[in-house]
Amino acid sequence: MKPDCIIVGAGPAGAAAALVLARAGARALVLAREGGRPKACGGGISPRALALARDLGLPVDPGRPLYCLEGNSPPWRCNRFHARKPFLSVVDRARLDRELAEAAAGAGAEIAAARVTGVRHDGRMFTVETDRGLFSAPMLIGADGAAGRVGRSLSARVRHRAVALMMDNADTARYADRIVFDGLPEGMGYGWVFPTHGATGNAGVYSLFPRPAARLRARMEAYLAWRLGKVPPGPVTGGSIPWGGYTFPHRLPVILAGDAGGFADPLTGEGIYHALYTGRAAGRAVLRAGGPDRLATAYARELGLFLKNVRILRFLAPRVYRFPRAGGRLLSLSLVNRPLTEGLARGMDTSRTLAFFPGLALAALADPLLTRSEHGACPDGFGR
């Protein structure tokens, strides 16, 4: 089969693109690294990501729904919210990737196990070099993650990178009913606890700004010792989280989706929804471009308001995390945290939450998804 388009990567972004193309009868070849890549992913999947997966007809396991969110803003206020709909579900990320790849293959996409070593373009066709040989196509989608070979080979630049460290199989029994986010006071980001199997889960820290690995690990261990009572035994998983979008120094019929394109949410670190959304947009762009020359333009049109949200977050996120104490004071106000949490419960992105903030404030009073909220002083040692 001579493919119309090669997709590098079979995670959420690559699988969504392949599914869209295969269902339309296009010849899509997916090159996927055997065994996948380890990710510092807590497995959190938002309601909007599950809804988008259903729209795509993807058989995603809904995971473990959690209806309680603890979002703490040190050192002033601990906030706990309960909702009628889950704030988040926790899934097995490796299983999710397998299910998505199987769905794409079931729709007719060809998936080949191959490790990509390089990409070149001769003015007419892309040639993708792998450990299983050479593959060629006139259009290319890079969906191969934060360290993607496609972007590096073609000199793409992701604007910014956050970083996360986490530990699996932690004893999270005391948080079995909730997701926990704790703002960190050093202008970094947040710590989290995600219960996955009742008494166990994963926990870690997220920093919007690059930090020396030793310093970030020390901060994670201090956070886990405070939040869990001890540092769990076992390996530490780490990785970068690209955000802010990407740029190319040239115009080629190639587009990047998901983490490869820097499309994670810098405020929350969420990536699965953004991968599915941009993967779907990439597949549609290939179908609607009418040829390689119009691929980039078609992709920008398909992304539409999504790119507006990327620009808003690019401006907002650094300012939120550089001034954690001012942000903590602001988020300790019910007039602020209730509408923001209401928007999260309704599955809204940042730009829509800000645009509809007055309406969400009214909804939080008139017809709230939030059923209960609890607030109190932060315990000693938290955020000091």
Across the range 303-316, mean pLDDT stands at: 89
Q: Which of 22-26, 148-152, 316-320, 356-360 has the lowest mean pLDDT?
A: 356-360
| % of the chain exceeding 90 in pLDDT | 35
Mention every residue, 6+ apart, whose C-beta is less than 8 A from residue 303.
278, 281
What dihedral do alpha carbons 24, 261, 145, 148 form, nearest 10°?
100
pLDDT beyond 70 at 106: yes
Could you give the strand order of the β-sheet that contains 88-90, starting from the edge strand earlier in sequence?
A: 44-45, 88-90, 64-66
Q: Report if residue 108 sits inside a domain.
A: yes
C-alpha 354 chain-centroid distance: 20
Across the range 73-99, mean pLDDT stands at: 81
Range of the domain at 272: 5-62+91-159+242-314
The tally of domains found in the chain comes to 1
Name the one residue in this structure whose structure tokens are 């996360």.
164
pLDDT beyond 80 at 378: no
Q: Report if residue 328 sits inside a domain.
A: no
Which CATH number is 121's domain given? 3.50.50.60
pLDDT beyond 60 at 36: no
Q: CA quadruple 101, 105, 107, 110: dihedral positive or negative?
A: positive
**Which residue, among 256, 299, 257, has the nearest Cα to 13 in the 3D structure?**
257
Does this model's pTM top 0.85? yes
Q: Is 23 exposed, middle or buried (0-12, 13-18, 19+ CB in 10 A)?
A: middle
Q: Report if residue 56 sits inside a domain.
A: yes
| 3-state SS, residue 298 | helix
Q: Report if residue 183 sits inside a domain.
A: no
Rg (CA), the chain: 21
